[in-house]
């Protein structure tokens, strides 16, 4: 395998870098900036069974070294995604990861079933969206519920399922182990931390939804900690994310135990960020004495 | 759209907390710009400000290869931008959004109606309309006399009326008061400013075809994050201000 | 009452600003920079029953808009604190809040009992320290255990008890309600988020303790969200903290529902920060249309 | 100790990634400084870097009212500091720590033993020792010839030996090799550098009284946060590098 290549269930990645779900839509906009074939993969925007318009605006707010978002799963519905959005990505040489969301277990199941008729390589099961009134986050905070959704989606899906964990929990290891036992092929972590900003002039939360999800460099230490802890407790691969904006960040995630790394918020700061990281990564690996990406995975553990 | 590191040519405070900034941009990029488009600006170099700031294109000069922005110091980001000095670099996504489509319109005279920081994009629009020999009448609203800028520039395009909320300059009141007071009209109107103003304008000029430029908090600025949406008037779907807008036809979207 | 004054159980505060525990030792060092009588109060460093040396170094690491610490409750023990440290603060015109920590419920009790012989105005019960192997955080993540420690310390203490909540929980409201029911006079929140940074050269966690507590502006959105949620669910006052560095931040905490505000990490950036905030606060209150601190408390709630 | 906003007078790269920075500081503050003390520097203006950076005082000039720091570009913070230009401001806590107490010592000749970025504080110390007519011999260790700085400055204080790890300049090897090779000794030694070097020096010179200057990651820099501790050799208590140090007597603390 090449220096940057990583092989994960359903995903033969030429490099470990992929845009994170919800930060890259279905790729079209960022394809103006660079050839998407350069990416290891792409995690597309969440799909629900039917079209959703999402929350009222404002939907984003800036915070120090981070941002809050409460998009609320706006999407055209899984069928429209399969018909109108995913075909665009077929021109590029990369495996696509679909992001599955819902308000009920049945909805999750149904979305996964619909996706059998599409060209995706894996599913990211989003049980951790903090920005919708129903569904979303509660599926990710109770280990039994998390396991149940995982089992049902696994049964409905034709591709490997990566479960996206919420960081808003007392014990992330417990949830990770529950979904592993329920058949998850991998984990993606972390989703956003629940946060809020108050508009001093309007005397109310700035986001119309009240709370939102905190992302960006501010949360990186929480992501690293959780990946580090989960890596020691499970045997399925982790795709890490949370505040990544350069190749050194990627190496930190690999050392913590991630096998691949997604980049979210940093795309807004620098639309070339994924491409820049892919260019820099071989040099950063060498600088710190690693021959390859796989060589670095988990090597930050004291007894690694 | 491109991401460019551009050099600042000049920075000047032209009204209260109102900064005019000239930036060196190549002819190739300038030639793609349509009036009403905006740039999406990175604040600082580090991580403190992760979101860019959208600022409308106010003017451009193909010969000098400069782009002009005018922005108000509002919060921390615009304050940082205002501190930049000539020869420092600024990182932009350029150009963003759709702009006013003026090639397709047939008009003899039009109204430009701007409020506060909604005034800047109307200037380059006015220049383009003038090139098409369309008669331009401008109605510009500001808080107070200290906030007024670019009056002379607009006068060079045609008749220009100023309204201030506190009456310290021009007509006291809102841009809609000026329209009433002077009985102004056109075949089209183009408006940019705070939402309450746009609403008032849309209502007052309900019989005139018009275009409105909207503001919304943005993430990506290029259509990928769904932060900046506005509902269509039928309530059935969302448009993205950064990609489908910022310019919409009057009565196309909910204000 | 004056514009800045706030009256809380045991604490007649001339203004709502106080340094946060662990970031100000026992005041001596910062008294070089300004007259501590200017402060509303001071939350001193944690006390345990016996002297503790704390964790090995490195104990701090910088992160984007924040920092990690794993001091590990270094302190000379409660008796030495009463004898050697607290008397220095008596020269200043301010109520002192002692911070009580321990590894067992009995230790918490004992520390609170010892403090009967001191001149403190209130106790901050630290059931949320993420940086010690035993005790600390688990007391703050289980509502029953949190309630039990609260009850026992309440019984042992001669002054009002404010319970310091951990943000590393799935449901902060549940814990807040449990300690309220157990007799807490107030809450302080939030303590640090558990995080980690990996040293790329050494290929191990940078902090010798592995994990550490994340503080600073990075965590402010999480603090605001939690205070906002807890304010709606309890009837005891909240002292807010987490990333405060200017008077606008203080107002945001007040609007979220805090009655007073502590400043931690920002003291390291600017040793005058508490003094600067106290100077600026009247102007910021006026700018946003408030007549007083009490006027602003909880006013960021949609139906306030 | 004070927090001051000071103006930068000069910034110069004097060796590989090694920056000499002169800063305007008033006589009143300079007159309080003891050799071995450090300043605690704020990086940038915003929140991105919440922790200050400790840098030793290398020299000061009461007449010019300047303070000299020498630092290596190591990570993001020192890189930001290196980009500062004359007339820009820098925010310091000054002076921090205890410094070398040279008033109490009785000595005819002393050794200054520095490694890498441990070299700078020894320079002002050497000047002060010279003022007391104490003979100074300096042994300075660097990685490679490209890293060597301040050789001439130290030569003006007395005999100066350079060691480089790769032998590209001076003696090949460590400062302890130089001590052996040339049979150097003194009544006291003063050492600053990486911990492995300090350990080697402490062991080699176990019969000589000495002072060591330590490095530890810091929060407050003033003794309030307990970040920067080092255990005493008896293991019974902690000392704070920022307040009780950075200078300790040899064999006082665990290295
Ligand atoms: C398409 C478009 C064109 C614009 N053109 C101009 C212009 O030509 N001149 C001008 O002065 N202003 C313009 N604005 C408004 C300008 O973007 C905001 O004033 C600016 O982003 C405020 O940033 P700040 O850091 O000062 O404020 P902060 O409140 O510190 O900013 C925090 C966050 O909120 C966002 N934000 C705050 N206010 C607004 C707003 N009104 N609209 C959108 N986002 C906001 C910021 O972009 C940032 O992400 C335009 C906005 C849009 C959407
Ligand atoms: C008392 C004292 C005096 C010093 N004097 C000098 C000097 O004169 N010249 C010089 O070049 N360097 C000196 N250092 C080391 C210098 O402080 C670090 O090289 C610098 O802080 C690195 O910052 P950074 O942002 O480049 O690195 P980063 O790794 O990005 O810094 C991240 C954090 O780690 C801390 N840190 C990293 N390395 C060190 C270190 N070696 N010691 C303490 N903290 C560290 C930083 O202060 C910051 O908080 C001194 C250190 C101490 C404790
Ligand atoms: C604007 C925005 C929208 C997001 N939408 C989704 C989504 O639809 N599904 C999902 O699983 N995660 C979503 N996320 C979370 C990201 O995929 C990612 O987990 C998180 O932002 C942390 O990574 P970052 O710090 O690199 O942004 C969204 C994040 C942002 C900022
Ligand atoms: C170096 C350091 C030491 C701390 N020690 C304590 C402590 O002893 N007891 C405690 O309750 N909280 C302690 N804290 C947590 C702070 O009191 C505060 O809750 C937290 O840092 C969030 O506030 P901030 O972002 O303003 O720092 C410590 C924080 C830091 C940074
Ligand atoms: S700002 Fe991202 S879609 Fe408009
Ligand atoms: S750095 Fe805070 S005690 Fe030394």
- What angle (nearest 5°) sits at the alpha carbon of residue A19, between those of residues A16 and A20? 110
Mean pLDDT of D213-223: 97
- pLDDT per position as a tens digit, B103-127: 888 889 999 999 999 999 999 999 9
Going by C-alpha positions, the residue among A63, A4, A14, A9 that lies closest to residue A36 is A14
The yes-or-no verdict on residue B101 having pLDDT over 90 is: no
- Hey, what are C184's tokens? 């807490």
Mean pLDDT of A251-259: 98
**How close does chain B come to C20, measured CA to CA in Å?**
23
Q: What is the DSSP letter of D117?
A: G
- Hey, what are D219's tokens? 């929060």
User: How far, in Å, CA of A219 to CA of D54, rounded?
Assistant: 26
The yes-or-no verdict on residue A134 having pLDDT over 70 is: no
Is A80 in contact with A47 (CB distance < 8 Å)? no
Nearest-atom number in ligand 4 for the CA of C241 is: 23
Asked if this assembly's ipTM is beyond 0.85, the reply is yes
User: How far, in Å, CA of A177 to CA of A120, rounded?
Assistant: 26
Strand C198-199 to C204-205 pairing: antiparallel
Positions at the binding site of A for FMN: 21, 45-46, 99, 126, 164, 190, 216, 242-243, 264-265
- pLDDT per position as a tens digit, A9-46: 999 999 999 999 999 999 999 999 999 999 999 999 99
How many Å separate Cα D36 from the centre of its chain?
6
Expressed in angstroms and rounded, the spacing between residue A259 Cα and the centre of ligand 2 is 32
User: How far, in Å, CA of C200 to CA of A299, rounded?
Assistant: 10
User: How far, in Å, CA of B13 to CA of B122, rounded?
Assistant: 19
Instruction: Give the list of residues 6+ apart from residue D29 with CB closer than 8 angstroms, or none.
Output: D2, D4, D94, D95
Mean pLDDT of D100-106: 84
Is A132 in contact with A74 (CB distance < 8 Å)? no
Q: Which ligand is nearest to the CA of B226?
A: 5
Q: Which of C18, C264, C269, C277 has the most ligand 4 atoms within 8 A of CB, as the residue to mutate?
A: C264
Question: Which chain C residues have a beta carbon less than 8 Å from that of B47?
Answer: 64-65
pLDDT band with cut points at 50, 70 and 90 for residue D76: very high
CATH number for position C131:
3.20.20.70
Going by C-alpha positions, the residue among A143, A157, A234, A227 that lies closest to residue A190 is A227
User: How far, in Å, CA of B152 to CA of B162, rounded?
Assistant: 11
pLDDT band with cut points at 50, 70 and 90 for residue C139: confident
Distances (CA, A) of A292 to A13, A227, A295, A299: 13, 20, 5, 12
Helix (H) or strand (E) holding A6: strand A6-8
Cis peptide before D246 (omega within 30 of 0): yes
- pLDDT per position as a tens digit, D15-61: 999 999 999 999 999 999 999 999 999 999 999 999 999 999 999 99
For chain B, which residues make up each domain, given as ranges?
Answer: 2-96, 109-215
Is the pTM for the entire model greater than 0.95?
yes
How many Å separate Cα C60 from the centre of its chain?
18
- pLDDT per position as a tens digit, A270-304: 999 999 999 999 999 999 999 999 999 999 998 76
- pLDDT per position as a tens digit, B179-208: 999 989 999 999 999 999 999 999 999 999
Mean pLDDT of D144-167: 96
- C303 within domain boundaries: no
Per CATH, domain B2-96 is 3.40.50.300:
no
User: How far, in Å, CA of B6 to CA of B65, rounded?
Assistant: 11
Cis peptide before B246 (omega within 30 of 0): yes
Expressed in angstroms and rounded, the spacing between residue B130 Cα and the centre of ligand 2 is 61
Is D191 in contact with D198 (CB distance < 8 Å)? yes
- pLDDT per position as a tens digit, A161-184: 999 999 999 999 999 999 999 999
Overall domain count for chain C: 1
Q: Which ligand is nearest to the CA of D77?
A: 2
The CATH class of B109-215 is alpha beta
Q: Are D93 and C271 an interchain contact pair (Cβ–Cβ within 8 Å)?
A: yes
Q: CB-CB: which of C32, C59, C269 is closest to D42?
A: C269
pLDDT band with cut points at 50, 70 and 90 for residue A130: low
Chains that touch D (3 or more CB pairs under 8 A): A, B, C
Mean pLDDT of D207-227: 96
Residue-wise burial string across D203-231, b where 16 or more C-beta atoms lie within 10 A, e elsewhere: ebbeebebbbbbbbbbbbbbbbbbbbbbb
Rg of chain D over Cα atoms, rounded to whole angstroms, equals 17
Cis peptide before C190 (omega within 30 of 0): yes
User: How far, in Å, CA of B6 to CA of B24, rounded?
Assistant: 6
The yes-or-no verdict on residue A135 having pLDDT over 60 is: no
Per-residue confidence (pLDDT) for residue C132, from 0 to 100: 58
**Residue C269: φ, ψ to 5°:** -70, -45
Q: Are A67 and B50 an interchain contact pair (Cβ–Cβ within 8 Å)?
A: yes
Mean pLDDT of B37-47: 96
Q: What lines the ligand 1 site, CB under 6 Å?
A: A 62; B 38, 51, 53-56, 70-72, 74-78, 117, 120, 215-218, 246
Ligand 4 within 6 A of C215 CB? yes
Question: Is A129 annotated in the active site?
Answer: yes
- pLDDT per position as a tens digit, A222-249: 999 999 999 999 999 999 999 999 999 9
Going by C-alpha positions, the residue among B232, B92, B215, B219 that lies closest to residue A25 is B219
Is B18 in contact with B72 (CB distance < 8 Å)? yes
Per-residue confidence (pLDDT) for residue B105, from 0 to 100: 84
Of residues A36, A110, A121, A129, which has the active-site annotation?
A129
The yes-or-no verdict on residue D175 having pLDDT over 80 is: yes
Strand B38-41 to B89-96 pairing: antiparallel
- A84 within domain boundaries: yes
| Domain interval for residue A194 | 6-296
Of residues C129, C156, C169, C263, which has the active-site annotation?
C129
- pLDDT per position as a tens digit, C168-181: 999 999 999 999 99
Chain mean pLDDT for chain A: 95
Going by C-alpha positions, the residue among B126, B146, B149 that lies closest to residue B136 is B126
Mean pLDDT of C159-164: 98
Task: Look at B227 and C129; give whichever has higher pLDDT.
Answer: B227
User: Which of D42, D43, D48, D79 is the mutation pick for testing B, counting most B CBs within 10 A?
Assistant: D48
User: How far, in Å, CA of C209 to CA of C202, rounded?
Assistant: 14
Per-residue confidence (pLDDT) for residue A133, from 0 to 100: 56
Question: Which chain B residues have a beta carbon less than 8 Å from that of A32?
Answer: 1, 222
Is D184 in contact with D139 (CB distance < 8 Å)? yes
- Hey, what are C75's tokens? 């302190």
- A302 within domain boundaries: no
3-state secondary structure (DSSP) of residue C45: strand
Q: Are B231 and A53 an interchain contact pair (Cβ–Cβ within 8 Å)?
A: yes
Which runs of E-coded beta strand occur in chain D? 2-15, 18-24, 38-41, 53-56, 59-61, 66-72, 89-96, 109-115, 135-142, 160-164, 171-172, 188-192, 209-213, 229-231, 238-240, 247-249
């Amino acid at each position: 395998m090449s220096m940057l290549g990583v092989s994960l269930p359903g995903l033969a990645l030429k490099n470990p870098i992929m845009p994170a779900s919800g930060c890259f839509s279905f790729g079209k906009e960022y394809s103006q900036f660079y050839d998407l074939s350069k990416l290891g993969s792409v995690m597309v925007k969440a799909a629900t069974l039917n079209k959703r318009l999402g929350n009222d605006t404002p939907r984003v707010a800036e915070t120090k070294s981070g941002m809050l978002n409460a998009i609320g799963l706006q999407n055209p519905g899984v069928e429209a995604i399969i018909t109108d959005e995913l075909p665009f990505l077929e021109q590029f040489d990369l495996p696509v990861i679909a992001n599955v969301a819902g308000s009920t277990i049945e909805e999750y199941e149904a979305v996964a079933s619909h996706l059998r008729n599409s060209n995706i390589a894996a599913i990211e099961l989003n049980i951790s969206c903090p920005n919708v009134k129903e569904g979303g986050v509660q599926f990710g905070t109770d280990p039994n519920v998390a396991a149940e959704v995982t089992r049902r989606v696994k049964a409905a899906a034709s591709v490997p399922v990566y479960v996206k964990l919420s960081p808003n929990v007392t014990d992330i290891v417990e949830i990770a182990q529950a979904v592993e036992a329920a058949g998850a092929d991998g984990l993606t972590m972390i989703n956003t931390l629940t946060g809020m900003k108050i508009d001093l002039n309007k005397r109310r939360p700035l986001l119309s939804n009240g709370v939102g999800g905190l992302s960006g460099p501010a949360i990186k230490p929480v992501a690293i900690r959780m990946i580090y802890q989960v890596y020691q407790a499970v045997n399925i691969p982790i795709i890490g994310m949370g505040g990544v904006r350069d190749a050194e960040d990627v190496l930190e995630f690999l050392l913590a135990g991630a096998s691949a790394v997604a980049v979210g918020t940093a795309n807004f700061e620098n639309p070339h960020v994924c491409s820049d990281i892919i260019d820099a990564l071989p040099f950063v690996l060498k600088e710190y004495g690693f021959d390859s990406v796989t060589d670095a995975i988990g090597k930050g553990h004291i007894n690694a | 759209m491109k991401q460019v590191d551009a050099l600042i040519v000049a920075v000047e405070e032209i009204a209260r907390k109102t900064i005019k900034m000239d930036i060196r941009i190549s002819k190739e990029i300038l030639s793609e710009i349509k009036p009403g488009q905006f740039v999406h600006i990175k604040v600082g170099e580090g991580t403190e400000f992760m979101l860019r700031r959208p600022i409308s294109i106010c003017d451009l000069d193909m010969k000098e290869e400069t782009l002009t922005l005018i922005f108000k110091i509002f919060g921390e980001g615009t304050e940082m931008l205002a501190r930049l000095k000539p020869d420092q670099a600024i990182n932009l996504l350029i150009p963003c959004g759709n702009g006013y489509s003026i090639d397709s319109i047939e008009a003899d005279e039009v109204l430009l109606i701007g409020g506060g920081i909604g005034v800047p994009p109307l200037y380059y629009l006015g220049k383009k309309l003038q090139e098409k020999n369309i008669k331009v009448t401008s109605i510009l609203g500001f808080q107070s006399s200290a906030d007024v800028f670019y009056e002379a520039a607009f006068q060079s395009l045609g008749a220009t009326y100023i309204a201030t909320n506190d009456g310290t300059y021009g007509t006291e009141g809102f841009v809609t008061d000026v329209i009433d007071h002077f009985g102004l009209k056109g075949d089209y109107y183009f408006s940019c400013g705070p939402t309450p103003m746009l609403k008032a304008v849309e209502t007052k000029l309900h019989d005139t075809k018009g275009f409105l430029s909207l503001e919304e908090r943005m993430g990506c600025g290029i259509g990928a994050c769904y932060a900046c949406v506005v509902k269509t008037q039928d309530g059935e779907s969302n448009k993205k201000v950064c990609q489908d807008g910022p310019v919409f036809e009057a009565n196309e979207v909910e204000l």
